[in-house]
Amino acid sequence: MSSSTPELDKRDQERLARTSERRFEKVVGISFTLSLIATIGLGVVYWQGGQTQVEGALLFVTLGGLGFGIVAWGKYLVPQGPYVQDREELKSPASEREVLIESLERGSNLIVRRSFLAKLLGASVAAFGVITLFPFIRSLGPQPKKMLYVTNWKKGSALVRSDGTKVRASDLEIGGILTVFPEGHAGGAISQTVLVRPSFQDIVTKPGRESWGPQGYLAYSKVCTHAGCPVGLYQELTQQLLCPCHQSLFDVMTGANPVFGPAPRPLPQLPLEIDSQGYLRAQAGYDEPIGPGFWERA
């Protein structure tokens, strides 16, 4: 009688410990699962346009589930120690060997369960990592594709104002400036072009551009070659276009060469012509990409 009582106590303690471990494993598993579900929900809500309150609640569950699960795992499922074991005689009694075998069997189940929890934790963290990339990916905006290489200007495009009315050769006096667009694309950011009239005579800005400036009209892309701001200020006295963002100055008489500021290259020039009815038109589209410098350019 006296020898069986402590053994029974030991077994009871083992059973109790096992039950309690399983309970905590369930709690940890539920925490990670909740975190994983909330992370996926967060991604879905964000992708569909977002809703701040819902996103906040889901983020709370995501991080809370992860944090709670990790803390509970560390506190209740990892042996705490330190352990001290009395030295006993080497040969164990049969009952102790039974307990040991049970314990080893339980251990193999334990390894399976713990590796499942580890996978669940890994999935939650990985999902959260992917979801946090969403804002970065979306903030990059749409791909520019070919839109910086090709504008809406083409041969014969009439020059129109932002309200769509066509521009006549008689519309601007010397020193006049106007923002123009290709007909059918009034207001387009990529095709916006600045039209200036420094003279009443034809102007040649560069060799090969003898016919591009009829009756003193010159047209240049309005998108700054530095960082893409609209170049909208014209200083008649110096015949320079000014970009207000970083004060780049472009000389309109020499093909909008940059003469001051950080712009690395001239504004592309649009070749103009005047049709039989006196309207200004493009001889062709721009012959080079507009906007900020590209790395492949010389």
Binding site for ligand FES (CB under 6 A): 224, 226-227, 229, 243, 245-246, 248, 261-263
Nearer to ligand FES, 165 or 254 (CB): 254
Q: Which is nearer to ligand FES, 175 or 261 (CB)?
A: 261
Q: How far is the CB of 221 from ligand FES (least distance, A)?
A: 12
Nearer Cβ to ligand FES (263/270):
263
Which C-beta is closer to ligand FES: that of 30 or that of 227?
227
Cβ proximity to ligand FES, 190 vs 263, nearer residue: 263
Nearest to 215 by CA among 158, 161, 155, 279: 279
- Work out how close the CB of 71 gets to ligand FES at its nearest, in angstroms, rounded to a whole number: 51
Rank residues 195 and 243 by Cβ distance to ligand FES and give the closer one.
243
Q: Least distance (Å) from ligand FES to the CB of residue 261? A: 5
Least distance (Å) from ligand FES to the CB of residue 242?
9
Min separation Cβ 243 and ligand FES, Å: 3
Least Å distance between CB 262 and ligand FES? 5
Minimum separation from the CB atom of position 189 to ligand FES (A)? 14
Shorter beta-carbon distance to ligand FES: residue 35 or 269: 269
**What is the SS3 assignment for the chain?**
CCCHHHHHHHHHHHHHHHHHHHHHHHHHHHHHHHHHHHHHHHHHHHHCCCCHHHHHHHHHHHHHHHHHHHHHHHHHHCCCCCCCCCCCCCCCCHHHHHHHHHHHHHHHHHHHHHHHHHHHHHHHHHHHHHHHHHHHHHHCCCCCCCCCCCCCCCCCCEEECCCCCECECCCCCCCEEEEEEECCCCCCCCCCEEEEECCCCCECCCCCCCCCEHHHCEEEECECCCCCCECCEEECCCCEEECCCCCCEEEHHHCCEEEECCCCCCCCEECEEECCCCEEEECCCCCCCCCCCCCCCC
